[in-house]
Chain A
Amino acid sequence: MSVTSIVRHRLFWPCVTLALLCAVNVFFNHNFFALEVRNGALYGSVIDILNRAAPLMLVAMGMTLVIATRGIDVSVGATVAIAGAVVAVMIGGTLVIKDGVQSYVANFPMPLAIIAALAVALLCGLWNGALVAGAGMQPIIATLILMVAGRGVAQLVTEGQIVTIYYEPFFFIGNGFLFGIPFALYIVAAVLLILLYLTQRTALGLFIQAVGLNPTAARFSGISARALVLWVYGFCGVTAGIAGLIITSNVKSADGNNAGLAMELDAILAVALGGTSLDGGRFSLIGTLIGALIIQTLTYAIYSLGVPPEINLVVKALVVFTVCLIQSERLRSMLFTHTARIGEKS
């Protein structure tokens, strides 16, 4: 592979950005890449970043497909809260001491609670999909409805309280380790593999691109664009639901007001950083994962640099701004032709 073809590769700039951010981290924290095994589990900054990025990676993967169909879903944060609320209320849990033996009892069996939460998340997504594909609403408006209403729904479920979970087995999802690696990463890997399979080994990828690039031509070719869009939103709801489970498990409680707050923005940003055009069409799931990692690594860097918390959003915004400029095709071509012209003169 020649140098130019590497530079032209769509994942080149996202990878460069991630590498630069890692370099900054290493500069301030020489142990950034260090890993150690404690109690049979891997610990280290990198593992920490991956683990914390897991919910965002999941939501952003669902978002990638939605954006590829020329849509957008700003309700994923609310869906995270709803799924979290449902699972927390259904599990709840109390500590029971019987004959001196401590045990935890859930209100409903945990598998049932998880399935219910994911089903509700799917319904949220399908609702969005129905508004977009069925009623023909603009995606941002259609999903804005659930973004606003979803928080209310989540609070209705939790009756306005922050619901704390007292049921240990549930904590494994967000905090557990399997073969030394955080369990949440297995979930991310599983969803990624399923999506890669669906988009590369079935016609789903082709159809999504065709619908995103030219909906009319896609429809005239016999693709049922409406059904496709409906299910893509539905799937995006499910990924948000899974993220909700991980977050709820992680903090051992559900807060309808704050769970997944502003997550839709990070997810859209991750998709954009990963090189998927917001105009729809060509998309890259791997790029999106790199985008999510860029966001999390940046957050980590800001904390480890000791940036005062009151300005860290400004710093984050500046870095994102720079990254987006670097990735802008037009700016790059402007810069390159400019330097080329200077080169000609001299």
Chain B
Amino acid sequence: MTEQQAILQMQGIHKRFPGVVALKDVSLRLFPGEVHALMGQNGAGKSTLIKVLTGVENADSGDITLAGKAIRVTSVLEAQELGISTVYQEVNLCSNLSVAENIFIGRFPFRFGRIDWKTMNAKARTALAALNIDIDVSLPLSSYPVAIQQMVAIARALGTEAQVLILDEPTSSLDEDEVERLFDALRKLKAKGIAILFVTHFLDQTYAISDRITVLRNGELEGEYLAADLPRIQLINKMVGREIDESSFARQTESGEAKASAGEPFLAARNLGRAGTLRPLDLDVHAGQVLGLGGLLGSGRTETARLLFGIDHADSGSAKINGVPVSLNSPRKAIRQGLAFCPEDRKTEGIVAELSIRENIILALQAHRGIFRFLPLRKQTQIAEEYVKQLGIKTSDVEKPIGQLSGGNQQKALLARWLATEPKMLILDEPTRGIDVAAKLEIMDLVKTQCRKGLAILFISSEMSEVLRVSDRIAVLRDRQKIGELDGASADEQSIFRMIAGGES
């Protein structure tokens, strides 16, 4: 295969955004008839590279050649005309139009100045048949499951004489059978000589379909490997990188103290699960301990948090708090049981950007008190200012809209919102995402301080080093199921990765 001519070659791609270098001298090559997986952690530069390739962003420097000819892609339309098609993570089709309309939208076949429905439907059927799909193309897209919609998106992308097909996390909303169906279609395309670039976080799927893997880390090319020659554990190591500065992220777990406070868990979940999002798992969270959730993106960490906090409803298993069975089927009930939750997506699920810092901080406490036990303004200001000082939130005035604060300070304000309710257990989903290193360290110190005060904490982070730094115990997840638990004091990245890779369980 290596003697073959690469259909697409990207070389020395540089891309700088204000304040960050997103891509540094990255190269990528795609061969006809191969599935090529692009792997890397959050922020590794995968999506920027795809954006450069599809004309959404322009590279600062570097060359792209397609079938031997140098090309310069400046718009999405141009990329499509060149034969580079993309299917994005979220199916961006029109669900109320018919399947055929979706495939041909923007390039309807015309006859006598009117849309030629007959030809269109026939062509749509042929296009889908190429993917082993036989459905009524005149029905609205919304009448089909997501997997089919994904195929329609692929058929649409292929319509334009595609030579290169880019799939950006196509499987994140599919179940196993649907994934298999998608892979069948991909194998068929592969046989036709189309080069497929596949971005995913699922390790199993990477190995099931890919011939070749390119790994990016921190905007740099880590390497290109044949899938067959790269064991899982090495892939994970390459994605995460070994050279983690151990000194700044030194473990702070005082295992003696943690063990002393252990005993009956504060929250005990047994067989808790939800079809399609999380396989049943057992979880114990102890007061005065941090339970870390380790795992790659998409492994079911957020799903676990959402089940515990009652946002999604479990359809199997049960939960006990202090030994008493509880039903956690709404955030309100979870809060009454002493739970608190800082969601992963701070902007859309956490802060109310237009409200002031004060209002954001007292929101959960006030909700807990109800409408009529209103905190007087003076009391509100006092609480807000107290937490601003205690958590080191950098602001001149608690009356400022919280949206004006930096990410790290918003996160601290959210912590303040929950600490004000005096919770028994705190669930932190990616509390350090998108904030600078200094703020990350501060947040982690806050977590440890709160833990020492007797709070039970569930800590979720994509940064394995952070999980290791704060956790007393680590539950390891993979592909939406729990695969084991490790002692925080003795675990290191290697043992977690070995577990994820399946070498040990």
Q: Is A204 an interface residue (CB 8 A)?
A: yes
- Which chain A residues border B343 with CB–CB below 8 Å? 220
Nearest CB on B from A118, distance (A): 22
Confirm or deny: B369 has a beta carbon within 8 angstroms of a beta carbon on chain A: yes
B417 within 8 A of partner (CB): yes
Asked whether any CB of chain B lies closer than 8 Å to the CB of A167, the reply is no
By a CB distance below 8 angstroms, the chain B residues around A217 are 348-352
Q: Digit string of B360-379 for contact with A (CB within 8 Å is 1, else 0)?
A: 00011011111111110000
Give the dominant DSSP class at A's interface: helix
Q: Pick from A209, A214, A223: contact of B367, CB below 8 A.
A: A223
A-facing mask of B339-357, CB < 8 A → 1, else 0?
Answer: 0010100001111111100
A224 close to chain B: CB less than 8 A: yes
Q: Determine the chain B residues whose CB is within 8 A of the CB of A209 once the complex forms.
A: 352, 354-355, 359
Residues of B within 8 A of A220 (CB): 309, 311, 331, 341, 343, 349-350
Please tell me if A281 contacts chain B, counting CB pairs below 8 Å.
yes
Whether A222 pairs with B335 at a CB distance below 8 angstroms is: yes
Residues on A with beta carbons closer than 8 Å to the beta carbon of B359: 206, 209-210
* Residues of chain B from 365 to 395 with CB closer than 8 A to chain A in the complex: 366-375
In A194-235, the 8 Å CB interface with B consists of: 201-204, 206-207, 209-210, 213-214, 216-224
Closest CB of chain A to B280's CB: distance in Å?
24
* Residues A221 and B363 in contact in the complex (CB < 8 Å), given A202-B371, A202-B372, A204-B371: yes
Whether a CB of chain B sits under 8 angstroms from the CB of A282 is yes
Contact assessment for B331 and A203 in the assembled complex, using a CB-CB cutoff below 8 Å: no
Kindly name the residue among B359, B363, B375 whose own CB sees the greatest number of chain A CB atoms within 10 A. Answer: B363
Name the residue of chain A whose CB is nearest to the CB of B348: A216
Cβ–Cβ < 8 Å partners of B335 in chain A: 222
Partner of B349, one of A202, A204, A216, A281: A216
Distance (whole angstroms) from the CB of A273 to the closest CB of chain B? 21
Please tell me the number of chain B residues within 8 Å of chain A, measured between CB atoms.
29
- Contact with A224, one of B332, B355, B364 (Cβ below 8 angstroms): B332
Alpha-carbon separation in the docked complex, A203 to B364 (Å): 11
- Tell me the residues in window 177-206 of chain B with beta carbons closer than 8 Å to chain A beta carbons: none
Which residues of chain A have C-beta atoms less than 8 A from B374's C-beta? Answer: 201-203
Residue in B364, B370, B372 whose CB lies within 8 Å of A221: B364
Q: In the bound complex, what is the Cα–Cα distance between A207 and B371 (angstroms)?
A: 8
Chain A residues with CB under 8 Å of B355's CB are 206, 209-210, 213
Complex Cα spacing A207 to B366, Å: 9
A221 to B352, CA, bound (A): 10
Query: In the bound complex, what is the Cα–Cα distance between A30 and B124 (angstroms)?
Result: 74
Residues of chain B within 8 A (CB-CB) of A210 are: 352, 355, 359, 363
**Residues on the A chain within 8 Å of B331, using CB:** 219-222
Q: How far apart are the CA atoms of A224 and B359 in the complex, in Å?
A: 17
Selected from A201, A206, A207, A222, the residue in CB contact (under 8 A) with B332 is A222
Alpha-carbon separation in the docked complex, A224 to B310 (Å): 13
Minimum distance in angstroms from B452 CB to a CB of chain A: 26
The answer on a CB contact under 8 Å between A213 and B364 is no
Q: Which residues of A contact B373 (CB under 8 A)?
A: 203
User: Which of A201, A206, A213, A218 has the most chain B CB within a 10 Å cutoff?
Assistant: A206
Interchain nearest-CB distance for B340 vs A (Å): 9
CA–CA, A285 and B48, complex, Å: 47
Query: How many angstroms between the C-alpha atoms of A204 and B331 in the bound complex?
Result: 19
B353-A203 in contact (CB<8A): no
Q: Which residues of B contact A213 (CB under 8 A)?
A: 352-355
**B311 CB contacts on chain A under 8 angstroms:** 220
Rounded to whole angstroms, the CA-CA distance of A218 and B374 in the bound complex is: 17
* Interchain CA distance A201-B374 in the complex, whole Å: 7
Query: Nearest chain-B residue to A218 (Cβ)?
Result: B352
Within A230-283, the residues touching B (CB, 8 Å) are: 281-282
Partner of A203, one of B309, B350, B371, B417: B371
* Cα distance A178–B348 in the bound complex, in angstroms: 51
Cα–Cα, bound, A209→B354 (Å)? 9
A214 touching B366 by the CB < 8 A rule?
no
A214 in complex: contacting residue of B353, B371, B375, CB < 8 Å: B353
- B364 proximity list for chain A (CB < 8 A): 221-222
> A206 contacts B366, CB within 8 Å?
yes
Residues of B within 8 A of A222 (CB): 331-332, 335, 364, 367-368
- In Å, the complex CA distance between A209 and B352 comes to 9
A223 to B332 Cα, complex, angstroms:
7
B387 smallest CB distance to A (angstroms): 15
**Given known A-B contacts A220-B343, A222-B332, A222-B364, A203 and B348 have beta carbons under 8 A apart:** no
Q: Which residues of A contact B348 (CB under 8 A)?
A: 214, 216-217
CA gap between A206 and B309 in the complex, in Å: 23
- Over the window 43-86 of chain A, the binary record of Cβ atoms lying under 8 Å from chain B Cβ atoms (1 yes, 0 no) is 00000000000000000000000000000000000000000000
Q: Which residues of A contact B370 (CB under 8 A)?
A: 203
A217 and B311 CA atoms in complex are apart in Å by: 11
B429 to chain A, nearest CB (A): 11
Chain A residues, Cβ within 8 Å of B351: 214, 217
Nearest CB in chain A: distance from B260 CB, A: 32
Binary flags per residue of B407-431, CB closer than 8 Å to A gives 1, else 0: 0000000000100000000000000
Flag A318-329 by CB within 8 Å of B: 1 or 0 each: 000000000000
Q: Whole-angstrom distance from the CB of A211 to the nearest CB of chain B?
A: 9
Question: Which of A201, A219, A221, A282 has the largest number of chain B CB atoms within 10 A?
Answer: A221
A219 contact set on B, CB distance < 8 A: 331
Residue pair A203, B369 in contact (C-beta under 8 Å) = yes
Q: Which residues from chain A contact B352 at a C-beta distance below 8 Å?
A: 209-210, 213-214, 217-218
- Determine how close the nearest CB of chain B comes to the CB of A280; give it in whole angstroms: 10
Distance (Å) between the CB of B90 and the closest chain A CB?
Answer: 17
CB-CB contacts below 8 Å: A167-187 with B:
none
Q: How far is the CA of A204 from the CA of B369 in the complex (A)?
A: 12
B417, A221: Cβ atoms closer than 8 Å: yes
Cα distance A230–B350 in the bound complex, in angstroms: 23
* Cα-based distance from A222 to B370 in the complex (angstroms): 10
B353 contact set on A, CB distance < 8 A: 213-214
| Given A216-B349, A222-B335, A222-B368, residue A206 in contact with residue B363 (CB < 8 A) | yes
Tell me which residues across on chain B come within 8 A of A218, comparing CB atoms: 352, 363, 367
* Residues of chain B lying within 8 A (CB to CB) of residue A202: 371-372, 374
Which residues of B does A touch, CB under 8 Å? 309, 311, 331-332, 335, 341, 343, 348-355, 359, 363-364, 366-375, 417
29 A-B pairs with C-beta separation under 8 A: A202-B372, A203-B366, A203-B367, A203-B369, A203-B372, A203-B373, A206-B355, A206-B363, A207-B367, A209-B352, A209-B354, A209-B355, A209-B359, A210-B355, A210-B359, A213-B352, A213-B353, A217-B349, A218-B367, A220-B309, A220-B331, A220-B341, A220-B350, A221-B331, A221-B363, A222-B335, A223-B332, A223-B367, A224-B332
Given A210-B352, A220-B349, 8 additional A-B pairs, CB 8 A = A201-B374, A202-B372, A206-B359, A209-B354, A213-B353, A221-B364, A224-B332, A281-B354
User: Which A residues contact B (CB, under 8 angstroms)?
Assistant: 201-204, 206-207, 209-210, 213-214, 216-224, 281-282
Query: What 5 pairs between A and B have smallest CB-CB spacing?
Result: A222-B367, A222-B335, A221-B364, A223-B367, A214-B352
